[in-house]
Every structure is written in structure tokens, then in C-alpha cells.
Structure 1
Amino acid sequence: MTEEEKRLHEGPPTWRKWGTYLSERAWGTVREDYSANGDAWNFFPHDHARSRVYRWNEDGLLGFCDENQLLCFALALWNGQDPILKERFFGLTNSQGNHGEDVKEYFFYLDNTPTHAWCRALYKYPQRAFPYDHLVQENGRRTRNDPEFELMDTGIFAQNRYFDVEVVYAKAAPEDLLIEIRVTNQGPEEATLDVLPTLWFRNRWSWYRNGGAVARPQLRRLTTNPHEPLVIEAEQEELGKRWLLCQHDAHAELLFTENETNDQRLFGVPNATPYVKDAFHEYVIRGVQEAVNPAGVGTKAAVRYRLTVAPGATQTLRLRLTNRYPLSAALEAPFEAILAQRKQEADAFYQTVSPAGCHEDLQRIQRQALAGLLWSKQFYHYDLTRWLKGDSTQPRPPETRWQGRNHHWPHLNNRDLLLMPDPWEYPWYAAWDLAFHCIPMALIDADFAKQQLILLLREWYMHPNGQLPAYEWNFSDVNPPVHAWAALRVFRIERRLRGKGDTAFLEKVFHKLLLNFTWWVNRKDLEGHNLFQGGFLGLDNIGVFDRSAPLPDGGRLDQSDATAWMAMFCLNMLAISLELASQDPTYEDVATKFLEHFFYIAYAINDRPIASHRNEIDLWDNRDDFYYDVLHQPGQPPRYLRVRSLVGLIPLLAVDTIDDDLLKRLPHFADRMEWFMKNRPDLCANAASVSRRGKNERRLFSVVDEERLRKVLAYMLDENEFLSPYGLRSLSKFHQEHPYRLDLDNETHVVDYQPAESNSDLFGGNSNWRGPVWFPINYLLIEALQKFDYYYGESFKVEYPTGSGHELTLWEVSVELSKRMIGLFGRNAQGHRPVFGDNETFQHDPHWRDLIPFHEYFHGDNGAGLGASHQTGWTALVAKLIQQSGNRPSS
């Protein structure tokens, strides 16, 4: 067992108490929005962030904090040219340009371990004035048909005139943090840089007038010998005392202010204190001496280092945030030895994660993917009732709030560490994103993955009616029900790694998921016919119209994907109940419930006899041999929405197998299954091969039978349809030449294949599923092919690619698809990484070419990264693909 694994298995999770939990963005979030119209981006814009105190959580540059975000540490920088102090990353709001909600900086998560005992990140900071206005204006000028305008496009990195600012965190003990900041001048000339390591308390004391008041903490300068490190002492009720030791420098200076809003600057109202949040900006850039507190006390403090760095040279700063006293020799020789030891321990830990003989570049990809996943573990705080009511010391929120966003979720009270899709572009949790995040997380920290899945089922998250909160922009939105799948996968991954599964965990999630299952059955099957309507279900622009909005004339949409997700949900719950039944026979009864539900849904989605008085059709279109959504409108016959998209591939996900040995161990369930198949052949006929034994005497449960499986796979594996060089497209390339058109309510809706950014702003921001490759469904389809192979084995082969004449088993197809997905990040025969697209700097510059971004989605033809550039949540699934490469996962 490695040292990192030993830390993970220690008693109370003390090693996890501090970590990289500080968000990269807190401005522009729903939590900070107290407007009447719900315009979060403009209510709290980037320009306010340096001067205005956050209510719910903090942000900073590659920072560190405790698990309750009481005390925060991050970097601030100034290159002598910028108009503002660089304390946080800049990006576009939703409405700024053709690709909004987009960070316009280059930073990279290089390393991290589950206990955060070793962490590294890199920021590339230009030496010229940062082009804030240019980025906004040029992106605003461009249309949806133009490419987005990136920071590198401004020419600011010409001649390599930038600093590499690398921050390294290493724990000497659970609450003893070593910090090393390495500044490298990559430019051709000497350059200066102000580095301000900053320590501050989250403002928790300004919101309550009477009762529940939080005592104001304090940072203060300690008197030190002029030849010894500078010391900032921090004291707070819950944390007690601790100290930030800062490397001695004859020209360094300690600065103090308060983490309080500059009301004068923002609102024209006199400040309660002369020392406010943006004091260091005023002091460093404008030279306002009185902005900082000469008494050396406050709730925000920094040490200012003014570096002059020769071309190609590196300067290093060392600090230590510790709860240990006395402080002598804290930055001396042991410092370097501890850094080296933690680095070595991290290397040893990740050697256990990578498969034997894994290529060095694949190890790099996997490790950076997992590093980004761990850096995306963030502190999240949102008390919705408090948010609706407002705080006693602040202006009363508008009354419209009680009928506005999220007002149906007054029970929600979150204050936890959560896996987020992206620390800047999506700095909030999303229920189904988080489910995917937990799969790669289980490889390195199964306990945390389990804790995350349980957390969203707690009463301060899950709605009393059983719905899971989707995401803070709309908790009532409907995400695909993948929580059961994730729980089962995490259980099995841990069992494979540790030799024993956590049945107590599985039982805990199962009981709460029963509530969620009931919510789906009661709320999303409008006609009670086992055909479901889930809304957009995370697929954004892939549809003809916004499927979450009410349809004209009171119509309804029977959704192929919603119905298939529910069939998959049934099989996941069935599998969990059978796992539990192996130890407690009581669960055999409830397993039968999910078996029945599955049969009813399989019947509904496939070849159900048309009942003329109901005027219904099934979701399988015999003309095209594909699954489609069906549109129902009063007074009109139902019609297929013939868009070949992931909507029609998701029925493949509703598949599982059961071993004959398991049925023998569970005779009561086996008897009920046989009774149902004998007495309800009308329902079971559409559940593929349940009565016929396959390879190793397995039974197959699938809504797609063998004949239709071949027909759907013919589309899926066709390079002129779904199969791209880098995975499966979200929309068939067929629609490039054959756009789908629908006339509805005096408006023509068009869906055409767009491999990169969408020209539709249906969902705003950077939403786009009209062609790009998208990791979550690709991963699930790879897994589904493996499950089909467990049953069919060598007896089932398909052309890969379609029309090639080259036949593979489904297992072999899954391996080939995995290779294509991994190939997004690896170097191809030309030495290029497809994810970098045509960016020559990333492709060839030795200082950029191994810094791998894990995007939200990828160009459907060339694999270039698109959307959120640090989506190391679901895209971190590549780490799991690398880990399982060549080996069959447990079934």
C-alpha cells in the first residue's frame, strides 16, 4: 500500500480537511444573484468581483482552503501593465459574444492527489497589458457563424512574452501546508512581476443583524526579526490559530485590509471602513498608500514580492501555512525534502492506477485528467431559504424572487465539498455530471465517490417529492436518471480494487433511489403508457426545439431517450437489488418490481399494437429502422421527429445480463421471472433474449433485440453517420446534406449537422450538441457494447466501420471506440494532439504541447476541443478508459 493510500485509509478524514477547494469563479453565479430579473451574469459582473464581497463562497487564482472555506489562500499577480490586479481568471458572460460563458485565460491542473497532499497547477500570465476590452469587443462583433476569439488570437503571447507561474502545494501534516511559487520568464527580455500570495477569511460576519452572528476573525502581522520570514497570524473561532510564514525578502512588504465591499466605488455610498476588499489593487496599481491598514491587522492580507526575472530564468518563493508553533526553520532544508517526498509518493500512487506497461504519454493524459477532476472538487454553499428571504443587514430581495428561479426548493441547504463540472465555466454541481465524475474518482478515492453519490440523496439536497436537484440555474430541470448506474459502477470498481464491495453503501443509495424512481414514474409518464417525457435531458441543442418548454396547442412529446433512460434505470435498480438479495433475500421481492417495470417499458418502446382510439405509434420507426421522438398534437396524427441523434442511440443503454449462477442462488426471484415470462409473453416478447441463454448461460435484458441492434449499429458505426475518427458524434453527419425541417406553430425548425460550435442560441452560452463528440454517452455506449458481448460473444459480429467488410465482435468494437476517444488527447502519427486543433503553439511549443485540456465536447470531424476548456468532470472518464484498456471490466 502506498503512502497516499495509507492516508486515504486513516480514521477521520483529517488529510482531506484542506485542499484545492477554492473556486476559480464566484461572480456571475445564481447564488450571488439578488436581481429582480434573474440576470446573474450582469448582477455581479467580473468588474465588481475585486471590490464586492461574496455572500456564499470565495474565488481565487489556483487557491487552497479548508473544507468549510473559512480561511483561503490564493495568488494575486501584476505585470506592471494590467489595469487591474490579477486576483481571478477573466472570461465572457453569457451574452458577451458568439460563445459566452467562456474563460479567456490559460491555466492547467498538472497534478493532485486525493488527500491533496501534493498539488501542482500552472498559469500562463502575459507580460503585456491583458486585453480585457479587446476580448469583449471582438467576441461581441462576431456572429454564431464565426469562430470564437481566444486570448491567443490577440497576439499577446507573441515572442513568448509571458510568465509561467506554477504553484505547488505539499502537506507536511494534515494542517501544515508547504507552498512553493515558481515564476519563469519565457520571454526574450528581463521582465518584472509583482507576486502577492494572499490570505483572507470568507466574510461570514456581515449578514446577520441579530442572532446567529459570527465573530469577526483577524489576521495580524507578527513582529519578526528583519532577517527571518515575514509572519501573518490568523485567528478564527473554529480554526483557532495558524500562521502564514512568508519567505524573507528585503523588499517584500506585508499588506492588510478588510474583506469588505467598497460601497463607495460600486454604489456611491460611504464605506463603513477605509480598508476594503480591493485595497491591494489600489495600493499596487494606483499607489494609494492609505488604502492598506498601517496597523497590520485585517481580514485580508498579502505579502508583496517584486521580482525581476531574467529571460529563461526561474525565481522561487516559499511559504508555509501551518497550525504548528514555534515557527523556527520552517522554510529551511526540510521544506525541500518534504516537497520531494510528496512528489515521489504521488508518483508511486499513480503507478497503481495506470495499467501495466502503459505508455508514458497515456500516463500523462490519465494523470492530468485525474488532477483536473480533483481540482474540480470545490466548496459549495447555498441556503435557498436564506437566499429567498435575504439577509437582515442587506436590502430586501425583490418579491418576484418568490415566484422565480428555484423557489420550489426552499429545503435545499448545501454546504459541502462537491465535484463540479468545471471550476470556472460551471462552478456549481450538476446531478448527472456528478454521477459521471464519480466513475474516474472511484479509481483513486472510492470513499469520496460514494460520499458524493450519497450526498445528493440527502434531505438537504433531494426534494421531498424524490426529485434530484439538477443544477443551480434550474434545480427543477430534469437530468437523465444515471445515479443508480453510477452507484452500481462505483460499488463494482471498489470491489475490484479492494476485493470487497461496500454493500452498506449500496443499500443506503438504493432506498433513497426508490423515491427518485417513483418521482419519475409519477411525474414524467404523462399518459401512464410507460412512454416518458423528460425534457431536454442534458442534450441541449440536439433537438428540434426546446423539449423542456411547453409545446404549442397543448401537445406532448414521447421521448425515445427519456423512455430508454427509464428502462436503463429499471435495470440498474434490478441489478442493485440482486446484489443486495445475495445477502438479504428480502430484496428478491423488490427486484421483481423493477423487472416488471422494465418489461412494460420494453413493450411500450417497441412494436406495441396501435390502439386507434389512442392514436398512438411506437418509438421505433420501421421506415428508417431507428428510434425517434414522437410528437403528439391535438387533432393531428402523431409523427416521428426524424432526427438521427443520440436520442435514437440511447435505447442501446438499456441492457444488462444476469448469470445463471446468480439465478440459482436466488430461486424466488428466478421463479417470479419465469412466471412473468410464461404468463405475460405479450410484454416479454420485446425484451430481447430473456428466455434464451447466451454465452456462459447468461440471460440478456435489453429493449433492443438482435435484429434491431444490427440496424441501429449500422447507423452508429457508419463514418458518414455517427462514427467520427474520435468517437461517436451526437448528431448524424447525414444531416449535413439533409437538414431536418419541422413546421410547427407557424415557425420552421431546422436541425443540421454542425461539427463545432452551434449557430443556434437555443440554450445560450456555449451549449452545443449538434454534432460534436461528447464523452458521457460515448462511455455508456462503450459499456453497453461490452454488456451485449457478455451475452452474444463470438456469435455476434458487425461491420466496423459500416460498409468496410471488416467484421468485429462487439467487445472488439468497444475497444476500437475507446481507442478513438483516448486518441483525442494522444499524439497521432504527425505528432499532433487532435484536442489542440489547428493551434500551432499548443501543437509544437515545448512549453505548451504537454499541457492537456479536457474540454466539454470535441469537434465531430477533427477532434478539436470545444466548449468549457477545463471540463475535467465527465471528460475525466478518459482516465477510466485508459485504466481498463485491453482488459474486460467486471460485468
Structure 2
Amino acid sequence: MPHTHRPPRIFDTVEGRRLAETRADPAWRLWGPYLSDRQWGTVREDYSADGEAWNYLPHDHARSRAYRWGEDGIGGFADKDLNWCLSLALWNGRDPILKERLFGLTNAQGNHGEDVKELYYYLDGVPTHAYMRMLYKYPHGEFPYSRLTEENARRGLDDREFELVDTGLFDEGRYCDVTIEYAKAGPHDVLMRVTAMNRGPDAATLTLLPQLYARNTWSWANGPRPDLRLAADGTVLAIHHAMPPMRLHADGAPEWLFCENETNAHRLFGALRAGYSKDAIGRHVVEGEADAVNPDRSGTKCAGRHRLVVPPGGAQSLRLRFRAADAPGDAFADFDAVFAARITEADDFYAALQADVADADRRAVQRQALAGMLWSKQLYHYDVREWLDGDPAQPAPPEARKAGRNADWRHVRAHDIVSMPDAWEYPWFASWDLALQSLVFATIDPDFAKGQILLLLDEAYGHPNAELPAYEWNFSDANPPLHAFAAWRVFSLDRALTGRADHDFLLRVFNRLSMNFTWWVNRKDASGRNLFQGGFLGLDNIGLFDRSKPIAGGALTQSDATAWMAMNALELMRIAVELALRDPAYEDMAQKFFEHFLLIADAAARKGGLWDEADQFFYDVIETPGGERIPIRARTLVGLIPICAVAVLREDDLVQLPGLQKRLRFFLENRPDLAALVSRWQEPGEGGTALLSLLRGHRLKALLRRMLDADEFLSPHGIRGVSKVYERQPFHFAWDGADLTLPYEPGESRTRLFGGNSNWRGPIWLPINYLLIDGLRRFHRYYGPEFRVEAPTGSGTFLSLQEIADMLADRMIGLSTRGSDGTRPFQATSRLEQEDPHFRDHVLCYEYYHGDTGRGLGASHQTGWSGLVALLIQQSALGPLHALSPAEAP
């Protein structure tokens, strides 16, 4: 495994040069895959009194109801404001509705929460979106909407979810692989190619309808209405007040159908029928309503109908081009040449990125993971004040909403391209997801990554009290404070890729995160003793209680919250040291966060803290009003997160900061009780380094003894969320007259706590594994190869911390790559997906993975934080220290 420390030369490619140009002129970023996979069922579209977003605008309404805050579509592509949107609709002649958007079950319908019930794969893309490709698998037979709903309703929490692939519709290849590609001939010149490949033994009748429509901005405030109109030459002229005139060209003379992107109030609410509503094209094509569409061939939504008969094993393609209305020449003269050039440029870009990734399967997995990240960018549009108060041209929202969800966040006015965790299941940002997603983007597009880090720190998102919004279902929840961690690594990756140190970015981040740190200290340390709470902190059902709610008879002090804050202090200290090397004024801030860290470490480690000396583990603790401290001795990830709170500083840097060095030594000499917590501060480690961590060597080894035990946390596929010892006998805890239990659940959740979609009681979560791997690598930077731990526990094999980190990284990567038996663990026992040549190499990034088998679970396109597999592959090829700044590198 070569550790060359040579950064990839992506900026020497055509795509890389485009990326560099966007710093001065962002034109190449104007168009991209910015439509959501699902706009229905979101908080933004919910105007109900009870806040039941899934019910207010369900899938059945989506085809007939205009959205207020966004758009969705299959394979969507649009400008950054969704003024004009391209997507694909399909009909196989059997479905009861036109296939315009991805179908899935709501939180209440799915036996394990919300779940998309389609087969689609994001296969390729580049950061400027000059080329993008995805695949949608469309069955020949009638799409089983009712069967999917009814069968999942019948199944219970102990049953697996019933998926589209389980219906048998794809047997004998009776489906079409529909590939949707986009290429840009220029910043404002978009080419769309749709190819339908029949995988079955019989000819397939298929109607393809590429769509162009304007996001509805006129119904809410009587604004100007865009106009689409069929021109005499067979093109569609597109006029929008916020865009230059454009024209859509379609090869092959399709039948053009027009309507308005407006609500069908007759269908939904029984109002008098008027106009040609949003669902008119579907009613015309599927239900045969000849007068549903506008005979004048004008409106704000249109589709070009192509009726195809695709022979068995054959393929047919459509070509469209959306460009300036006055662009000269034949729109299709250079069409194929542009696509060929953009595909070559994409190949060159990834060849540069993956020059050191020797394994072809790993290269394919990494490229698809990055494609998923790129396809999951969308416009996030949400003005909370307008959402709460309602629009002038619409009925006033129910009064109850004004004191309901996000009522304390009226300042939020979001209108940005944001990386989504999953554009169908989670089509909204979550703060710690976004921090981790930025790390992945930093490997291919550091400018976008930096923008994502800064986004939630901006006044348009962050609360005036310095709190960061968690996620749109409840901005006031707390996610782990990972922005400083992510910012430092994005800064370092950016410096390694570009050769430039963007200290302005680091300074902006530091100033705002310093205020957020103070918010945590003031709001999440109830007793003022440097031990923290925080709520569920993204770990959903990992505990016995709903950690977002008060506990009867006590307060819960959390091991994970405390460790996250220790980690936060160390990361902010590290940033302050970097800034102080240029401006000594930041030495004081470095000392401030150093002292904060020591106080947290002292509180967590001392007797009466969170460390249990008898069990050699960190636990959550209930503190009663009478002063009693009751540890909850459940072995879960919350006790391992202290491994992540580690920083390594170079003595060479401290020499350049004599004021800081003097103050640190004074503090340590005068507080020997705290100095004892800092592992060998006076004894430089490997390469003249100093170590700051929550763990001395003994405690680190004690935690690793459990973490690397196959009977506890260590799975063949990574670190589990809960110890497997609870498989035989669940953990029991008596509280407030109840016997609470915590079992080991390696698969889908068996409780509806937090909706039942996510499960932290045993499965493997890639982001936590990534953070543990990162922590181990930093410990290795200090201790070096002589510090060895038995791994796995009981094996008799002793490995360095770097070797353990590499082992865990390989297990993470191995979830998606083909093993020695030829199978990919995430695809489980599905023979179709494991063996069929048209399935087996399509990789999905799942929300989490089965703790014993590695089967993919939860959101199936969680190309957000599980996209970290792309970063792990890169680090495995280049060496784990390639992302370190010069201040940390050996």
C-alpha cells in the first residue's frame, strides 16, 4: 500500500482548469443537478396545523400540486435558482400514472420508516457538472405502487423491508435501463441525452417525455409568469424574467404537450376546473384526456412525447439541447462530439485523482460514490419567516404554526446549492452530515467544500445566539459539533491540492465557531462542570431514553456530548495555532481552547466523571436532584467517541509561538492534576510531536480491547453501534419504576423511537467508523510503530495503531467492493444484484450497514456521509497522512 504523500494533480486536467476558473467567474456552476429527488413530504411544503409533513403533501398529491419551495424530478438538471428545470418522465403503457418522480413510502407507511422504492443509480459526474450520468431501471410491467404499500404495511418491525427488486418484475430482464446524461457545451448550453436499453426477451413499448418547466414563483406573490411556447421551427422558446431567452431543441420531432406548473384544485380540493394544471400531461398521456393539455402549445411546463418500441437487447436514444435562443447553427451538428469530449474530460479528471488507486474495483466504487455526492446537490430554498406567515396571494397558514416547528428561527433565509445527505430520504441539510460531506467534496472540489462549511455559519442560517441549525424537522436540535474538525481538514486538503493556504477561509470559520463553542458551553453544560448534554446528537435510538427529552427524576450527562466538545476544543485550538503562526494575536485563543480542553478532560476522567474504572469504559450518567450520580453501564458507541478527541502538535510550531508555549507550560506546571491528563506532554513523541487527548495510553488500550473484540464491537465490516454481548442478554436498567432494555439489533430498528428509519443499536455507521479511524491515525502520529495493541482482541496478533486504522478502513471499503467470493456485502443475498451483469457493478452508499453481514440498510442513496468511502479509498492509496497540513505532517 504506497504512502507517497503526493497530492493528485486534478487541476492539470481540463475539468480541473474549469474548476480553477470558477473562482473568478462561477458561470460553469450555474447549471447542475439541482432538483431534489423528493420535494413532497418535506417540512418546507407543509402548511398544516399539526406539522405532519408526510401527510400534508403526499406522493399522490405531488403530480397535481405546485410546490412552493422547490422542484423534484427524475434525473433533474436546472439552473441554480430552478428558474428552468429539465427532467424525464416515462410511461410503459401499463402504469396508472405518469412516472415523473421517484416513489417511496412515508415514515408511517414503511415498516422501518420512510423508504424510496425505486431502482436508480448515480454513475458519473464532474464537479462543474460539465458531464453527469445516472441510470433508472423501469420495469416493463405495471409499477406495483399498491403492492409495495400494502406488503410493507403488513410487515412488522422484525421483518425486512419489501423492496421493488423483491416483486419479481425484473426477472428475465423485463425492464429497460434508462440512462440520463447531461453535457455542457458551454456554461449556459445544456445537452441532454436519454438512452433506453431493453434488457428483456420481448420488444418493449415505452413512452419517454423529456420535460422543461419553470419553478412556480408566480402563484405565491403574483410575480411575473414565465412563458414556454412552441415556435414555428419546432423548438420551444423559453422566456423568463430572471434569465436570458432560451430555446429547447429536440431531435426527432416529438409531439409537444403544454400545461401550467400549477395546482389542480379540482382534483385535490373539488374546486371548479380551470386551466391546464401541472398533471395535465400525465392525464393526456395515461388517461387519454385529449383536452387536458393546452391546444395553443404554450404554458409554464412542457414535454416532448416520444413513442418508442425498443427491440429485445436493443436501444434507442433521444437528444435535446437547451441553449440561448439566438445561438446560431444546427443544434445537433456537434452534439455527439461535445458528449464525447466531456466524457473524455471526466475520464481524465478521475485518472488524475486515482493515479495511485491500483485496484480497478476500488476506482469504480470511488467514482460512483463521488457521482452520488455530485448528484445529491440541490437548491435548498426556505425562508422561515415567509413560511410561517404565509404568502399574500394564498390563504393564511393555521395560527398554531406560528408557535410550532422552527418558530424560533425566523431569521433563516436559505437559498443555496447544498449537499444533501440523500436527495430522496433526506432532501435537507443536517449540520454534522454536511460537515462530513464537505470532507469528501474537498478531494475533488475544495472551493465547494469550503462554501459548504461556511454555509451554516452564515447569518442566513446560524442563530443570532450562535447556535447552528441541526436539520429542518427541528433546527433547535443539536448535532455533534463537527464543523471545526471538518474545517481544519478541508483547509488541509485544499492546501495539499492547490498549493495555497486559504487562511481567510480558516479565519472566517474560526471567528464564528468560537462563538458557537461558547453557545455550547452556556447551553449544554447544565451544571457548569464541563460535562455536557446535547440530546440525541444524531445517534437516534442508541440509548435507553429519548435523549432529546427530559428524563424523569434526573438529568442525563452524556459521554458522547462531552467527547464531542473535547474534540471541538482541540480542533479550534489547532486552527488557532495555524492562525497564530501568521498573527501572534491568536496565541491567546489557542490557550483558551487548550484550557477548555483540559477542563473537559479533567471532568470526564476523574472520579465522579464519565470514566468507569472498574469497567474501563466511558458511560452516560444520570445526575439526580439529590446529587447522586448513576452510570448507565451500557457499552455503546458513546463510550468510544473519546478516541476521536485527539490532537497532535509539532514542537517546531510551538517554538515559533513562544508566548503560547510559555503559557501552556505554566498552566501544566501549576496544575499537575490536569497535566497528568495530557499524555507525556513533556516527552516529545514521533517526529517531535506533543499529544493532547482524552486518553492516556492505558485507557486507550482499555477502550481498544473492547472495540477490537469480535464478541463486542468489532464486526467483519467495521465497528458496531452497540456491543454484541447484548445479543444473548440485552442490557437492563431500572428507572422510574420501569425496566428499560437495550438489545443488540444488527439490522433495521425494532423500535419506533425516532421514527424507526435509523438504528444505532448494533449496525455499522460509516461516519463514526471514519472518525475512529482518523483518531487512531493521529494517536499513531505521536506513539509511532512501537505502540502496539492486540487486534483482534484474543488473536495473539499485535498491530500498531496505524495498522489497526488501515484494517478498519479496509473493512469499510470492503462493504462496497467485491470480496474474494465475488460478492459485495452491501447487496446481501440478492442474486439479481450480486450476479446479474447489469446490476452487480452498480454501487449504492447506504445510510448504515448490518452489524454482522454488512447488508446495506436505511436510506439507499446516502451519498452524503457514507460517501466517505471515497475519501477512505483515497487515503488508502496516497497514505493516511496526505490530508495533513505541513504543520502536522512528519
What TM-score do the two structures reach when normalised by structure 2? 0.97
Separation of aligned partners in 2, 1:136 and 1:583: 60
Q: 1:178 aligns with which of 187, 191, 195?
A: 191
> Secondary structure of 1:289's partner?
coil
Residue 866 (structure 1) aligned to one of 848, 857, 865: 857
Alignment RMSD:
1.0
Partner of 1:219: 228
Q: Partner of 1:565 in structure 2?
A: 564
1:581 alignment counterpart: 580
Q: Distance between the aligned counterparts of 2:733 and 2:105, measured in 1?
A: 33
CA shift digits 1:501-529 (9 cap, x unpaired): 21110001100111111100000000000
Which residue does 2:416 correspond to in 1? 416
Work out whether residues 605 and 619 of structure 1, in 8 Å CA contact, stay in contact via their aligned partners in 2.
Answer: yes
Q: For residue 611 of structure 1, what is the aligned residue in structure 2?
A: none
Q: 1:407-806, aligned counterparts within 5 Å? A: 407-553=407-553, 555-608=554-607, 617-635=608-626, 637-806=628-797
Distance 1:357 1:409, change over 3 A: closer
What is the CA deviation profile of residues 806-858 of structure 1, one whole-angstrom value per residue up to 9, with x for unaligned ones?
01110111111111111001111110001100111110000000100100000
Work out the CA distance in 2 between the residues paired with 1:9 and 1:695.
Answer: 37
Segments of 5+ residues of structure 1 without an aligned counterpart are: 225-229, 609-616
Q: Is the 8 A contact 1:858 1:864 kept in 2?
A: yes
**Which residue in the other structure is 2:8 paired with?**
none
C-alpha contact 2:357 2:873 (8 A) present in aligned 1: no
Shift of 1:355: 4.3
- What do residues 700-719 of structure 1 show as CA deviations (whole Å, max 9, x unaligned)? 10111111111000001111
The reply on whether 1:133 has 2:137 as its aligned counterpart is: no
Task: Tell me whether 1:254 sits opposite 2:265 in the alignment.
Answer: no
Larger RCO (CA within 8 A; separation ≥ 6): 2
Q: Which amino acid aligns with 1:408?
A: D
Which residue identity does 1:602 align to in structure 2?
A: A
Whether 1:888 aligns to 2:880 is: yes
Distance, in Å, in 2 between the alignment partners of 1:737 and 1:859 is 17
Q: How does 1:150-169 map to 2 (within 5 A)?
A: 150-169=163-182
Contact 2:717 2:853 in 1 (8 A): yes
Following the alignment from structure 1 to structure 2, what is the Cα–Cα distance between the partners of residues 747 and 397? 41
Amino acid at match of 1:52: R
1:404 and 1:326 map into 2 onto residues whose CA distance is 50
Task: State the partner residue of 1:237.
Answer: 241
Q: Displacement, 1:351?
A: 1.2
Q: Is the 8 A contact 2:125 2:371 kept in 1?
A: yes
Name the SS of the counterpart of 1:444 in structure 2.
coil
C-alpha spacing 1:326/1:481, structure 2 compared with 1 (3 Å): closer
Of 17, 20, 23 in structure 2, the residue corresponding to residue 9 of structure 1 is: 20
The aligned amino acid for 2:240 is Q
Deviation at 1:327, TM superposition (A): 4.9
Report the equivalent of 1:612.
none
How far is the alpha carbon of 1:400 from its aligned partner?
1.0
For the residue of structure 2 that corresponds to 1:552, the secondary structure is coil
For residue 61 of structure 1, the aligned residue among 67, 74, 77 is: 74
Task: Tell whether the 8 Å contact from 1:262 to 1:278 is kept in structure 2 after alignment.
Answer: yes
Alignment partner of 1:379 is 2:379: yes
Query: What does the per-residue CA deviation read over 1:659-706, in whole Å, with 9 as the maximum and x for residues that have no partner?
Result: 110110111000000000011112222233223221122111011111
Answering whether residue 148 of structure 2 is matched by residue 103 of structure 1, we say no
Match of 2:134 among 114, 118, 121: 121
1-side partners of 2:186 and 2:487: how far apart?
32
Partners of 1:76 and 1:87 within 8 A in 2: yes
Q: Which amino acid aligns with 1:312?
A: G
> Of the candidates 817, 822, 839, which is equivalent to residue 830 of structure 2?
839
Compute the displacement of 1:500 (Å).
2.2
Cα deviation, residue 773, structure 1? 0.7
Moved more, 73-82 or 499-508: 499-508
Partner of 1:227: none
- Say whether the 8 Å CA contact 2:237–2:325 is kept in structure 1: no
| Aligned residue type for 1:630 | V
Contact 2:750 2:756 in 1 (8 A): no
Quote the residue 1:613 is aligned against.
none
**Structure 1 vs Structure 2: percent identity of aligned residues?**
54
Question: Which amino acid in the other structure matches residue 27 of structure 2?
Answer: T
Deviation at 1:154, TM superposition (A): 1.4
Deviations 1:98-124 (A, max 9, x none): 122100000000001000000000000
Is the 1:97–1:143 contact (alpha carbons within 8 Å) kept by the matching residues of 2?
Answer: no
Distance 1:405 1:745 in 2: 30
Tell me the residue number matched to 2:31.
18
Residue 133 of structure 1 and its aligned partner are, at CA, apart by 0.7
SS at match of 1:631: strand
Aligned length: 869
Q: Using the TM superposition, give the Cα deviation of residue 326 of structure 1 relative to its aligned residue in structure 2, in angstroms.
A: 4.0
- In the aligned structure 1, how far is the partner of 2:533 from the partner of 2:880? 35
Q: Which amino acid aligns with 2:250?
A: C
- Deviation of the 1:463 alpha carbon: 0.2
Secondary structure of 2:785's counterpart equals helix
Contact 2:745 2:762 in 1 (8 A): yes
Separation in 2, partners of 1:9, 1:830: 43
Residue identity opposite 1:888 in structure 2: P
Query: For residue 666 of structure 2, what is the amino acid of its counterpart?
Result: W
2:834 aligned partner, one-letter code? Q
Alignment of 1:176-215 (within 5 A): 176-208=189-221, 213-215=222-224
Structure 1 segment 22-101 matched on structure 2, within 5 A: 22-101=35-114
- Is the Cα–Cα contact under 8 Å of residues 854 and 869 in structure 1 kept in the other structure? yes
Residue type of the alignment partner of 1:504: D
Letter in 1 for 2:322: L
Distance 2:465 2:369 in 1: 36
Are positions 1:827 and 2:827 aligned together? no
**Which residue matches 1:281?**
282
Partner of 2:311: 310
2:749/2:756 contact within 8 Å kept: no
Q: Distance in 2 between matches of 1:125 and 1:496?
A: 43
Matched residue of 1:374: which SS?
A: helix
Residue matched to 1:267: 269
Rounded to whole Å, the distance in 2 between the matches of 1:761 and 1:688 is: 42
| CA distance 1:587–1:124, change in 2 (3 Å) | same
Q: In structure 1, what is the Cα distance between the partners aligned to 2:580 and 2:758?
A: 42
Structure 1 position 745, deviation (Å): 2.4
Instruction: Give the drift of 1:328.
Output: 3.4
Letter in 1 for 2:279: D
Counterparts of 1:547 and 1:641, CA distance in 2: 13
Deviation per residue, 1:838-881 (Å, 9 max, x gap): 11111000000010010000011111100000000111111111
Name the SS for the 1:408 alignment partner: helix
Distance 2:17 2:628 in 1: 64
Structure 2, unaligned runs of 5 or more: 1-11
**Equivalent position amino acid for 1:317 in 2:** L
Segments of 4+ in structure 1 off by > 6 A? none
